[in-house]
Amino acid sequence: MQRYSIASLARGAVGGHLQWSRAWRSPEPRRSYDVVVIGGGGHGLATAYYLAKEHGIRSVAVLEKGWIGGGNTGRNTTIVRSNYHLDPNAHFYEFSLKLWEGLSQELNFNVMYSARGVLNLVHSPADMDAALRRGNALRLNGIDAQFLTREEIARRIPNLDCSPKARFPILGGLLQPRGGTVRHDAVAWGYARAADALGVDIIERCEVTGIHVERGAVTGLRTTRGDIATRRVGIAVAGNSSRVAAMAGVRLPIESHVLQAMVSEPLKPVLDTVVTSGAVHFYISQSDKGELVMGGDLDFYNSYAQRGNLPVIESVVAACLALFPSFGRLRLMRSWGGVMDMTMDGSPIIGKLPVAGLTMTGGWCYGGFKATPASGWVHAWTIARDAVHPLNAAFTLERFAQGRTLDEKGAGPYPWAH
């Protein structure tokens, strides 16, 4: 691997940038591997990287039906945070945030982690109780949380309508200063390049169409580029989790739903914090290119279409204008959708499936980008040791039948309600 540094950049500038080589190879699939990871999004690539790096397993392939990062990794709104209430979620996402903090150095690739702060607005006395309770729980878990008054918010975010006459009056907000954004494509590329350097084969345009199971154990995969023999398979396919698990006869507590996002035309810096409002189902940040990146609710019906319908776009924009009236002059540039693997309790499934040698990391709902490093790290651990790590011990598939659901929102078994 060609290391990136200020010196190599300077040498490149002098030489007309002709010396750069490909960031990762494009090998033909071999006939067998020790481990095959299905899905070349951030989670699959991170799994492969940590298998090679932490566990010395280098006969690893990542099979991606399209191109790496072309799924939800390249479609999400890039917010990272660890401000979860329930202990297993709090510890897991905090581990992830700590990995984000050092990831550019770890991968020798700038993933542009920007700790600009994530602010959850409080609009009502009930919101206030919930925010203070969660803030205190976070601090007890050693996670940064800070309550801001309305005046402090008005000073920090001048475009936000903090007046008492606002359509959704702002009473305060809970800030996680270390939360922020990360460049999504760079995460896929950085993990791919680092995994490739450790010997991992990244194989694009290779769809898995069958999982061979003999006497309750995985023996190989059928793909559009031939059969591959392997005894260990990790599934990391986000919205397609149900379809791929079904190839091994496993049914999951998951429904696939579409989530949309949209961007405005680019403008000069106007918003340096990620702002979210649970009450109006809205969040916004400004990308490094200058676009305002916005999102809100699911479309609320099962979908594999990777696109949604107009009512959600309208409600997101209406919420935006209620909170930031001055953004009404902007034009919307693009909107798109991704297929979410919504679980029955809103928390992920990272662990073994009831077929020997088969594991998954999935059920990320609409919040799995922030989990990418930790998900890959614990998934690799589970594949390498055939056991759960304390960090994913609560995220097993069995928790549903055992009544140990992790229902952060208290919404019950309705996947579209989380």
Partner 1 sequence: MMLIPCPFCGPRSQVEFTYGGDATLRRPAGDADPSRWADYVYLRDNPCGPHDELWYHGAGCRSWFVLRRDTRTHDIIASAPVGEPLDGTRP
Ligand X SMILES: Cc1cc2nc3c(=O)[nH]c(=O)nc-3n(C[C@H](O)[C@H](O)[C@H](O)COP(=O)(O)OP(=O)(O)OC[C@H]3O[C@@H](n4cnc5c(N)ncnc54)[C@H](O)[C@@H]3O)c2cc1C
CA–CA distance, 54 with 127 (Å, rounded to integer): 42
Residue numbers 242-301 binding ligand X by CB under 6 A: 244, 259-261, 295
Q: Which residue has the tokens 């994530």?
A: 118
| Site membership for ligand X, residue 210 (CB under 6 A) | no
Q: Which of residues 310-369 bind ligand X (CB under 6 A)?
A: 338, 364, 366-369
Least spacing, CB of residue 246 vs partner 1, in Å: 8
Task: Let me know if 2 is exposed, middle or buried by CB neighbors in 10 A (0-12, 13-18, 19+).
Answer: middle
Tokens of 37: 């990871």
User: What Rg value do the Cα atoms of the chain yield, rounded?
Assistant: 22
Which of ligand X, partner 1, none does residue 323 bind (CB under 5 to 8 Å by kind)?
Answer: none
Overall size of the chain counted in residues: 418
CB of 225: closest distance to partner 1 in angstroms? 21
CA atoms of 326 and 346, how far apart (whole Å): 34
Short-list 192, 234, 240, CA closest to 383: 234
For the bound state, the minimum distance from the C-beta of residue 407 to partner 1, rounded and expressed in Å, comes to 12
Q: 260, 282 in Cβ contact below 8 A?
A: no
* Cβ proximity of 308 and 296 under 8 Å: no
253 or 296: CB nearest partner 1: 253
- For residue 382, give every residue at least 6 positions away whose Cβ sits within 8 Å of its Cβ, in sequence order, or none: 350, 351, 352, 359, 388, 389, 392
Q: Could you say whether residue 418 binds ligand X (CB under 6 A)?
A: no
Piece in contact with partner 1 (CB under 8 A), picked from 45-53, 101-109, 299-307, 372-380 = 299-307
Residue of 214, 310, 329, 331 interacting with partner 1 (CB under 8 A): 310
CA distance 209 to 14: 48
Q: Which does 216 bind (CB under 5 to 8 A by kind): ligand X, partner 1, none?
A: none
Give the residue, chosen from 44, 135, 179, 253, that forms a contact with partner 1 under the rule CB under 8 A.
253
- Among 54, 66, 304, 333, which residue sits at the site for partner 1 (rule: CB under 8 A)? 304
Which of 146, 219, 302, 396 is close enough to bind partner 1 by CB under 8 A? 302
Q: Which stretch binds partner 1 (CB under 8 A): 22-30, 143-151, 240-248, 321-329?
A: 240-248
Stretch that binds ligand X, among 3-11, 97-105, 233-241, 385-393 (CB under 6 A): 233-241
Cβ closest to partner 1, residue 216 vs residue 311:
311
Q: Does 252 bind partner 1 (CB under 8 A)?
A: yes
211 is a contact residue toward partner 1 (CB under 8 A): no
Chain centre distance of CA 89? 14
Among 95, 147, 168, 400, the residue binding partner 1 under the rule CB under 8 A is 400
- CA torsion angle for 390, 361, 387, 227 (degrees, to 10)? -170
Are 29 and 203 in contact by the 8 Å Cβ rule? The answer is yes
With a CB cutoff of 8 Å and minimum separation 6, the contacts of 201 are 25, 27, 29, 30, 33, 60, 61, 62
| Residue 78 vs 89, nearer CB to ligand X | 78
Q: Which helix or strand (DSSP H or E) is residue 147 part of?
A: strand 146-149
- The residue written with tokens 């699939």 in the block is 29
Under rule CB under 6 A, residue 240 binds ligand X: yes
311 binds, among ligand X, partner 1, none (CB under 5 to 8 A by kind): partner 1
Least Cβ distance, residue 9 to ligand X (angstroms): 29
For binding to ligand X (CB under 6 A), which residues are involved?
A: 38-44, 63-66, 70-73, 75-79, 207-208, 236-238, 240, 244, 259-261, 295, 338, 364, 366-370
